[in-house]
Amino acid sequence: MKLQLIAGLFVFLISLPVYAQSGDVQGTVYQRSTEKPLAGAGVYITETKQTQKTDENGIFRFTELPKGRYTVVVTHPLESIPTKISVSINSGDTTEIKIYLGEAVRLETIVVEGKRLPPTVSRKEIRGSELLRIPGTANDALKGLTTLPGIGIPNDYFGILYIRGSGPGDTLYYFDRTPLGYPFHYGGLVSTMSSNIIDDIHIYAGGYGAEFGLDSQTVLDILSRDRIKERKLSGKFNLNALYSEGVLEGSIGDKGYFHVAGRRSYLDLIAGFFVDDWVLPYFSDYQLKFTYELAEKHHLTLNAFGANDH
């Protein structure tokens, strides 16, 4: 009797329905811009490492997943960054989800162009005509440089330039790109070239080009005028208590230009009229320039200049 009861109970138990402890997840992947189902999207469950691809209707389905939370990762060639979502699986239920993927932003080639930065050079440029307008310089362009920051002279009698604290021997002078032996008469009394023909003065306080060499701290590049626009022929004469000077310049046709300048002190000549035995010092200088335009990038230039202190 007991054996029959146990057998009947066993048959009853196995005939009872078994309630599942797992669930399903089903979803549809859409393209965000068109809201249409996206076929061929890869769907991956991180925890179970299961992978599927959506069908032509954008649908995927994973079955018999144990109860819990899962991370679903969706990828597609149109989306550069994978989309991750978290879903919960309940026993005996099917969890339905919708996933929207946005199109990856594809940029065309972008070309950025810019001008190359110029070399870092401590350079100042000043017009010769501007220096002549500075009061207290006696129409001497080089003495007018003392009004610029960082340039000075030792005293009121000697005009040798000190630039950025360097000594006078550390400054290299160029006149029309030709080394200038000494730029001042008698150590700074007056410059050795006529200020009326100076066009520009470039001051390089370090960082200058190789054309000036390497044996100086500062370079003064003095450039004389090489053309005249408004006047065909002009001249200027200056007479003062110390010296007299004159300059003559003009154009030669449409492509040529010339200037001639000279200066001489005359205290020795005046003293000679009164005292025969006195010999006073005197100075003189001259500049000559001829330039002609042979072609747009080719010019013929003749330069001559000199100075004397007696």
Residue 16 lies in a domain: no
Name the DSSP class of 150.
T
Is 237 in the same domain as 220?
A: no
Residue 290 lies in a domain: yes
> What are 230-238's contacts with CB under 8 Å, separation 24+?
236/196, 238/139
Residue 4 lies in a domain: no
Is 142 in the same domain as 220?
A: yes
Work out the average pLDDT over 13-25: 62
Identify the pLDDT of residue 118.
66
Query: At 72, which amino acid appears?
Result: V
Is 185 in the same domain as 249?
A: no
Is 216 in the same domain as 241?
A: no
CATH assignment at residue 138:
2.170.130.10
Is 297 in the same domain as 254?
A: yes
Residue 155 lies in a domain: yes
Identify the pLDDT of residue 18.
46
Is 150 in the same domain as 219?
A: yes
**Is residue 153 over pLDDT 90?**
no
pTM above 0.95, yes or no: no
Is 69 in the same domain as 93?
A: yes
Which residues constitute the domain of residue 68?
23-101
Identify the pLDDT of residue 89.
87
Is 158 in the same domain as 217?
A: yes
Confidence of residue 13 (pLDDT cuts 50, 70, 90): very low
Is 205 in the same domain as 267?
A: no
Task: List CB contacts of 131: < 8 A, sequence separation 6 or more.
Answer: 137, 141, 142, 144, 145, 195, 198, 201
Is 191 in the same domain as 164?
A: yes
Contact status, residue 101 vs residue 76, Cβ threshold 8 Å: yes
pLDDT, one tens digit per residue, over 185-240 is 887 888 999 999 999 998 887 767 777 776 667 888 999 998 877 768 889 999 88
Is 193 in the same domain as 280?
A: no
Residue 112 lies in a domain: no
Identify the pLDDT of residue 16.
44
pLDDT, one tens digit per residue, over 60-111 is 999 989 989 999 999 888 776 778 888 998 888 888 999 888 755 566 788 8
Identify the pLDDT of residue 53.
92
Work out the average pLDDT over 275-282: 80
Last residue of one domain, picked from the residues 176, 207, 224: 224
Is 146 in the same domain as 170?
A: yes
Residue 88 lies in a domain: yes
Identify the pLDDT of residue 33.
78
CATH assignment at residue 85:
2.60.40.1120
Residue 207 lies in a domain: yes
The total number of structural domains in the chain stands at: 3
Contact status, residue 151 vs residue 145, Cβ threshold 8 Å: yes
Window from 153-162, 278-287, 298-307 with minimum mean pLDDT: 153-162
